[in-house]
Amino acid sequence: MSVLIRRATVSAAVAYAIAGAFPRLLGFVLLPFYARALSPEEFAQVAVITAVSALASTVLTFGLETAVFRTVIRLRGHPAERHTFLNSIGYFAIGAPILVALLAAFLVWQFVPASVASAEALMLAFVAAALQATTVILPLPVLRADEKLRSYMLTTGIYGLTSGVATFVAVIVLDLGVTGWWIAALLAAACYLVAGLATVGHRWTKSVSRALLLAALTFGLPLVPHALSHWALGMSDRLVLAPLVPAADLGLYSVAYQFAMPIAILSAATSQAVMPHFARASVDTAAMESLRPVATTQAIVIAFFGVAAALVCPSLIAILLPASFAGAAALVPLIVLGYVFFGWYLVPMNVLSLVVGKTRWVWTATGIAALSNVVLNLLLVPRLGVIAAALNTALAYGILLLLVYVHARRALAQNIPIDWRSLVGALGILAVVYFMAATLTSPGDLIGLASRSIILLATGATLALYAARFGTTQSVVARET
């Protein structure tokens, strides 16, 4: 049974990784073309509008994604109540985000200088954010809760294909610049929502429940400050850096983030794959011990992803992009380290949100981490430049990991289910591999890239054997217990 569970979890992780990565994959593949069509200064404009759009999307989800996921799982044996719940959430999700987005876009348009971002691009970005927020609230968490991996992958695949093709046509073929970038984003967001609603296949009726909606909002709204703090951790630095560094440096920083972003996507996909295990532990105390091999393997996998990105991405930047973007390579490892901390933070966060179900005060941890990031950027960036911003990202995510871990351990009233000996052993292997590969190979040519890739493949195979042995040991211990 444990082997079947591991296989199902791995399959889900792969599916969510593909689904999460594909929307970015075409953009990543086409990045060398965009780097020739857009200047570093134009990339800076895209970065600023992306930060504002991400802020809008964060607010417009109202913290409901986790609430919907958790509630749908808990209502599996109550189809009538589930139907009413989806009606209630769905009507709210379709109407509220777009209305708030239009109002916010009008207000922002009055204050943002045209030199920073055009009014047309901002309006397009806000509407796209609203459509994405609706998709995040309803179709996606329902598909994940029902473990409909094919439907989930189909939905995200349509989004990724639409986004990649539309952006290529608008930016490369039609040469519409930054405005074209956001026209494509709006089109892709619309297709995302339509595809998501179609794959869920919910039969809409007039049956609604104010109580169910309010219960979901009561659970979700306390997560909004938490989500805003995440935005401040991952996106606000673009806005902070804009007046402090040259636009070209901000463009380099944005490109470095795009190369590091797959680690955040893979970390989130890994977390999504194991979330059903955490959710089941909320209604079955016997399932808590089974989380130990799951959470430990999750942490090891994320660490491996981080080492791989820190070694490969600088080589890809040197080989694929014009020389004007070469400075982005030095920023990637530090940003990747921050995303590794983010991936590890998802373990105690899943304990808090899915096992314990206590999210009321978690925003304080993310708030402290976000404030640290902003303050450190204001203090250090004027002196050290964008390298300080990359370092501050890693430090802030490290603070977040520590604070949420402590909070989750107290809320759970026991240790977080992680096998520390196995985790430390795997991290030791990865540390040795990283420093050897970084020292002995060149990041700027194909030979160096090939060498690093071979080293990573060997390391991945070693860790897979290590994890398999670890999982078998844990299964024996669980049976004996």
Whether residue 271 contacts residue 346, with contact meaning beta carbons closer than 8 Å, is answered with: yes
Q: Around Cβ 8, how many Cβ atoms within 10 Å?
A: 15
Residues of the chain with pLDDT under 70: 1-25, 110-117, 282-289, 359, 466-481
Whether residue 107 contacts residue 55, with contact meaning beta carbons closer than 8 Å, is answered with: no
- Distance (Å, whole) CA 336 – CA 332: 6
pLDDT of residue 195: 93
| pLDDT over 90, % of the chain | 40
Angle between helices 291-320 and 247-281 (to 10 degrees): 160
Of the candidates 305, 308, 327, 245, the residue with the CA atom closest to the CA atom of residue 47: 245
Whether residue 21 contacts residue 269, with contact meaning beta carbons closer than 8 Å, is answered with: yes
pLDDT of residue 391: 95
pLDDT of residue 393: 92
pLDDT of residue 286: 63
pLDDT of residue 303: 94
pLDDT of residue 8: 57
What's the per-residue H, E or C state across 21-59?
Answer: HHHHHHHHHCHHHHHHHCCHHHHHHHHHHHHHHHHHHHH
Of the candidates 349, 344, 348, 342, the residue with the CA atom closest to the CA atom of residue 297: 344
pTM for the whole structure = 0.71
Whether residue 151 contacts residue 199, with contact meaning beta carbons closer than 8 Å, is answered with: yes
Whether residue 352 contacts residue 362, with contact meaning beta carbons closer than 8 Å, is answered with: yes
pLDDT of residue 337: 95
- Distance (Å, whole) CA 253 – CA 57: 22
